């Protein structure tokens, strides 16, 4: 179902950063009118729902500057150049919660904010966990929180879990 409903007339990078670029595209709409689109270019990413043998989800709590608050989230991170999404998921599990997964099952993939961002995310269910720690990223301050899987729906409903990747992947994992 690919289409180019808005061919690009011009494209200009306005900012180049460490994790994203900002560009403005001038496009021709299907009705012939010219419009602009502000787009954040972001690499692909992964998220993982790690569930231990007791039926707990190992989540992370970290401060998110854009939201100006701490969020309770699942493991997530960017895919490095040349890295397979599954390899990225294992690396992020090791960096963020200090575990690896004996079994990594693909759940789904999705656009995070297709109205303005190119980021595409792959979601996995991680089970058969064992300790295997990698050094955390220097610019992250993360604490691991163990959450019973049975409490996830109420934590989503109450707003304790409120980022879209975590909600989507947790709900997908609960169907397994």
Coil/strand/helix, residue 9: strand
Which residue, chain included where needed, has tokens 């390899």? 87
Pick from 91, 80, 102: nearest CA to 136: 91
Cα–Cα distance measured from residue 32 to residue 26, given in angstroms and rounded to the nearest whole number: 12
**Run of H or E including 157:** helix 152-158
**Run of H or E including 85:** helix 85-97
Catalytic, 44? Answer no
Contact criterion met (CB below 8 Å) for 45 and 119: yes
> What's the angle, vertex CA 100, arms to CA 95 and CA 104, rounded to 5?
120
Catalytic pick from 38, 80, 140, 160?
140
What's CA 109's distance to the chain center, in Å? Answer: 10
Tokens representing 41 are: 């270019």
- Active site (catalytic) residues: 140
């Amino acid at each position: 179902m690919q289409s180019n409903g808005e061919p690009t007339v011009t494209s200009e990078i306005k900012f180049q950063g460490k994790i994203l670029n900002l560009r403005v595209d001038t496009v021709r709409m299907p009705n012939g009118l010219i419009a602009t689109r502000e787009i954040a270019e972001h690499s692909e990413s992964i998220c993982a729902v790690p569930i231990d043998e007791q039926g707990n989800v190992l989540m992370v709590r970290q401060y998110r500057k854009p939201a100006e608050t701490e969020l309770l989230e699942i493991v997530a991170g960017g895919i490095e150049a040349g890295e397979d999404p599954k390899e990225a998921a294992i690396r992020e599990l090791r960096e963020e919660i200090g575990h690896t997964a004996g079994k990594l099952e693909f759940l789904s993939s999705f656009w995070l904010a297709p109205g303005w961002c190119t980021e595409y995310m792959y979601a996995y269910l991680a089970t058969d966990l064992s300790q295997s720690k990698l050094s955390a990223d220097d610019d992250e301050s993360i604490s691991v929180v163990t959450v019973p899987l049975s409490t996830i729906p109420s934590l989503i409903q109450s707003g304790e879990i409120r980022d879209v990747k975590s909600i989507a992947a947790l709900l997908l994992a609960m169907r397994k």
